[in-house]
Structure 1
Amino acid sequence: MKQWNDTGANQAMIANEQGAQSIGRREFLGGAAAATALIGGGVAAGVGSLASPAIAQQPAQFPDGFLWGTSTSSYQIEGAATADGRGPSIWDTLSHTPGKVLNNDTGDVAADHYNRYLEDVALMADAGLKAYRFSIAWPRIQPTGSGPANAKGLDFYDRLVDALLRRGIEPWPCLYHWDLPQALQDRGGWTNRDIADWFADYALIVAGRLGDRAKNWVMLNEPSVVAIFGHGVGGHAPDLRGRENFCAAIHHQNLAQGRALSALRAVGAKDWKLGTVLSVQPVKPSPGNDANRHAAAQWDAVWNRSCLDPLFKGQYPDSLIADFKPLIKQGDMEAIRQPIDFLGLNYYSRMHQVTDPGGLFGTNFGPSPEGTKYTDMGWPVEPEGLYEQLIDFRDNYGNIPVYVTENGASYGDWVGPTGKAEDGGRIFYIRDHLLACHRAIKDGANLKGYFVWTLLDNFEWGFGYTQHFGLVQVDRETMQRRPKASYYWYGDVAKSNEVPL
């Protein structure tokens, strides 16, 4: 998950919330049948649809073997911040700094997944999900960021992987989802070139323990977001700023990813699948000014291509070469350009850019087209952008196997008279993005699976616990799990391999 702002989003968000409430307060009578009945009104309610009117009553059938799952991240759900030898992470440091997170929330307890993982695995299994992308907390494995492994930290992921396999769920470990050991940040973190080797060593430790059972390995989650919000404009841990810090963080993550891929490939089993996860969002100029076209192209290079192009083409975008040149040493680009078995795509919306001389690269977020609807985070709802991005991978990056490894939305929910947690807006959002996936597959995109973000309401970074992305409510006092209407709806999609229209 990431955070960004759109000018004017707050007013649109209020209107969207009002619309979502009028939809979601309709009675759910239980399970997917009731949810499907509600979905039938989605177009009239203004959510929009990619379905063709000629086949509006026919479910969108996905290919045999299409993988349905969910994604989470360690700091956002695990809690147990000091249990069993875990060291502090940069997000522990930031969240305990007054004023850095809304309500001064922290991930100390989060969703208490560390202690309740069996309950959460059961929720996934009951929903019919067949894959779970979770992240490994580097500070649990190496509390000081390097050196010998902490056996108790590895033991937790052993238990989790075994629990998943017992319930027929494929484990998809992600080696890094933003919770860098604070001890490594004290040595420069992602601005220190040595981190590429530290990360490769860590990857070998984790895969050496879990690789006899876990076969699908994700290197990094959203390196561009780490670099932009953690190192360029601030707000995310470690809360650095500046163009040089951004470039160093991008290049060293790219290099660490390449080193880890190479190291795992050298020792790995033949049935391992190695990949990574990027946040890739089509960038559009905000309406009203032709100069915004240049801003959009520049931000596309910064957010998207600075990770895609080195991995697939062995080069940085032309508009950024001067910025990266001082960081590149002989052999770097060859080390970064590693073959991968799959690419994970995290998609939430398009990005709309305006020219801003004060921006990190001369751009900033601007208004979306008139009439755009927004989630409770103020993010545009644009399922067509997901289709566009999948087609871009088809046409410009070799049509590699792709999994949507994050897609979801923050919407309010409430407990209705029947005792169910209602969240109709989320169902509409997921439904229309799945229809975009279905359309892209029909048009030749090599899409193999979809992981919804996310299973549980969690610690949403700088927003603390104020935003709710989960299919399942988590009571902040008792940690009780309460599945929402979207949980039942998505579960029936996974079980039937089709999306009702």
Structure 2
Amino acid sequence: MSVLPISRRAFLKGMGATTAATILPRFAWAKEPTFGQDFLWGVATSAPESESRANRGRSNWDVFIDNIGGSADGTNNVRNTEFDSRYLDEFKLLQASGVKAFRFSFAWSRVQPESPGAPNMRGLDHYDRMIDAMLEHGLEPVPTLFHWDIPLWAGDFLDRDISRRMGDYAEIMARLVGDRAKTWLLFNEPGIIPIFGYGQGIFAPGYRSRRYLGAALHHVNLAHGRALTAVRANTSSGTRVSSAFNIMPFEAPSGSAEDVAAARFMDVLWNEAVPAPAYGRGYPSLVLPLVEPYIQNGDMEAIAVKPDFFGLNFYSRSFVKADPDSPVGIALVEPPAELERTDELPYDPDTYTKVLLKAHKDYDAPDIIATEFGFPVAEEAPKDGWVNDPLRIKYMQGYIRAAHDAYQQGVKLKGMFYWSSTDNWEWVLGLRKHFGLIHIDQPSLKRIPKRSLEYYAKCIRLNGPA
């Protein structure tokens, strides 16, 4: 267990949690814009980006990243941030900041490492202890069943039978933690799996095929439906179940008919091809030819599980042009010059408000949880037990205000989760992209808080943008 770089008392002092602040009457904040009384302020992470490979079976992402020789910065996922053994260090910092919920994922290869059937008790005990630790630190556990990492024995989404295996896995985890987790996310960004992993070949398992994309898309939807049904059947009444859908509008800056048509297809494929069937609306017409060969009797009914809320991940818009050589028909282009850029993505708060309003309209005014928003930025080196990251604070403030604008316009926004708790291994980008509110010192892996965590603590205290 690593040693925290500062004491809890010093951390609270740094965030301004003084006696004077705590005795202010409640009406002192009355003029500040606030969210609802039970608004869920959280942070997020995932097992394949933070847990090490220790004590689990080999996964599809282990094979993929090893085969391509590592991520862009030469790192791999062997060690990551060792969250599996160091999570208490994070929980103490998050508790001190007032964070209310912790979104995490189970590693399927830790639960059923080598084969189907009975789960590995060491893996179950690991997550059992972790969830108890969350509760002991005042963090509501929000599990994600599947964040893209598949044990090798389970195959991949070209095989229709993976939906049955996913359902069995969901039942195991629901029985383990169903009494302690009241909000569930089944899949993280399910639409990305077929597009990046089976169409474009840039994520595991690395296929580049339009036909494979169609098969994987339908089998992802089928697995999603069966997993959600299994969790509902094995958790208590009042448990909320959905998935984290990544919403990213696609636009064609050129305005040419060819580019606009390509952007429209990609927009529908990315943003509607999973949530629309899950909500009982079937496949959009632009996507149907991709999946039609794989649909069997009863499939659409099994898929139409109607989630209990809409989990919405948002980072930015994407700008594209037509590319006939791509299996998905598009290529990225540079964003308009007037859009400010983070270290990786456009900063786009106005679009954030718009996508929240669109989800509210398109899915009959569901409860919405903003399951991810976050920003990779260049940062200063740690100094005096802190990392200074003013740009991240600026961007966080913009997105929280944008979300509150949507809330004021009627969106039933029930919570926000910042991505991520710490700097993680960001898939093919490696360790060089820093999203976290907590810095991971290399090579010691000590957790060092950032000023953005201090800012987030202020938003939590105010229950609104600060």
Q: TM-score, normalised by structure 2?
A: 0.91
- AA aligned opposite 1:295: A
Aligned counterpart in structure 2 of residue 76 of structure 1, from 38, 44, 49: 49
- AA aligned opposite 1:124: L
Distance change >3 Å, CA 118–CA 100, structure 1 → 2: closer
- AA aligned opposite 1:344: G
Q: Is the 8 Å Cα contact of residues 217 and 273 (structure 1) preserved in structure 2?
A: yes
Counterpart for residue 24 of structure 2:
none
1:325-344 equivalences in 2 (<5 Å): 325-344=292-311
1:229 aligns with 2:196: yes
Please give the root-mean-square deviation of Cα atoms over the aligned residues, in Å: 1.8
1:362 aligns with 2:329: yes
SS state of the match for residue 487, structure 1? Answer: helix
Q: Is the 8 Å Cα contact of residues 96 and 104 (structure 1) preserved in structure 2?
A: no
- AA aligned opposite 1:172: V
Q: Is the 8 Å Cα contact of residues 370 and 417 (structure 2) preserved in structure 1?
A: yes
1:77-156 equivalences in 2 (<5 Å): 77-79=50-52, 81-83=53-55, 86-156=56-126
Counterpart for residue 464 of structure 1:
430
Distance change >3 Å, CA 416–CA 207, structure 1 → 2: closer
- AA aligned opposite 1:315: G
Identity over aligned pairs, percent: 36
1:119-268 equivalences in 2 (<5 Å): 119-185=89-155, 189-268=156-235
Distance change >3 Å, CA 486–CA 324, structure 1 → 2: same
Matches of 1:433 and 1:103, distance apart in 2: 29
Aligned counterpart in structure 2 of residue 487 of structure 1, from 446, 453, 465: 453
CA shift at 1:288, angstroms?
Answer: 4.6
Query: 1:435-456: CA deviations, max 9, x gaps?
Result: 1100001111111100000011
SS state of the match for residue 220, structure 1? Answer: strand
SS state of the match for residue 209, structure 1? Answer: helix
- AA aligned opposite 1:367: E
Unaligned runs of 5+ in 2: 1-12, 18-30
Counterpart for residue 4 of structure 2:
none
1:420-439 equivalences in 2 (<5 Å): 420-439=386-405
Q: Is the 8 Å Cα contact of residues 382 and 448 (structure 2) preserved in structure 1?
A: no
Aligned counterpart in structure 1 of residue 38 of structure 2, from 65, 79, 86: 65
1:412 aligns with 2:378: yes
Distance change >3 Å, CA 212–CA 30, structure 1 → 2: closer
1:243-392 equivalences in 2 (<5 Å): 243-377=210-344, 379-392=345-358
Matches of 1:225 and 1:337, distance apart in 2: 19
Please identify, of 417-426 and 293-302, the stretch whose mean Cα deviation from structure 2 is larger.
Answer: 417-426
Q: Is the 8 Å Cα contact of residues 106 and 146 (structure 2) preserved in structure 1?
A: yes
Query: 1:185-218: CA deviations, max 9, x gaps?
Result: 3xxx111000000000000001111112112121
SS state of the match for residue 202, structure 2? Answer: coil
Query: 1:419-448: CA deviations, max 9, x gaps?
Result: 521111111111101111000011111111
Q: TM-score, normalised by structure 1?
A: 0.85
Matches of 2:94 and 2:244, distance apart in 1: 21
CA shift at 1:147, angstroms?
Answer: 1.5
Matches of 1:96 and 1:215, distance apart in 2: 36
Matches of 1:256 and 1:130, distance apart in 2: 30
Q: Is the 8 Å Cα contact of residues 314 and 334 (structure 1) preserved in structure 2?
A: no
Query: 1:5-30: CA deviations, max 9, x gaps?
Result: xxxxxxxxxxxxxxxxxxxxxxxx95
Matches of 2:285 and 2:277, distance apart in 1: 12
Matches of 2:92 and 2:390, distance apart in 1: 24
Query: 1:333-359: CA deviations, max 9, x gaps?
Result: 111011221121110001222122222
Counterpart for residue 15 of structure 2:
31
CA shift at 1:145, angstroms?
Answer: 4.9
Distance change >3 Å, CA 99–CA 245, structure 1 → 2: same
Matches of 1:419 and 1:165, distance apart in 2: 26
- AA aligned opposite 1:493: C
Q: Is the 8 Å Cα contact of residues 145 and 198 (structure 1) preserved in structure 2?
A: no
Query: 1:54-84: CA deviations, max 9, x gaps?
Result: xxxx6432222111000100011111x132x
Please identify, of 96-105 and 388-397, the stretch whose mean Cα deviation from structure 2 is larger.
Answer: 96-105
Aligned length: 442
Query: 1:205-233: CA deviations, max 9, x gaps?
Result: 01111112112121101111111111111
CA shift at 1:287, angstroms?
Answer: 3.8
Matches of 2:217 and 2:299, distance apart in 1: 13
Matches of 1:438 and 1:423, distance apart in 2: 23
Counterpart for residue 38 of structure 1:
none
CA shift at 1:418, angstroms?
Answer: 4.7
CA shift at 1:250, angstroms?
Answer: 1.4
Distance change >3 Å, CA 287–CA 433, structure 1 → 2: farther
Unaligned runs of 5+ in 1: 1-28, 34-57
- AA aligned opposite 1:163: A
Matches of 1:145 and 1:127, distance apart in 2: 41
Matches of 1:225 and 1:383, distance apart in 2: 22
SS state of the match for residue 190, structure 1? Answer: coil
Matches of 1:287 and 1:59, distance apart in 2: 42
SS state of the match for residue 157, structure 2? Answer: helix
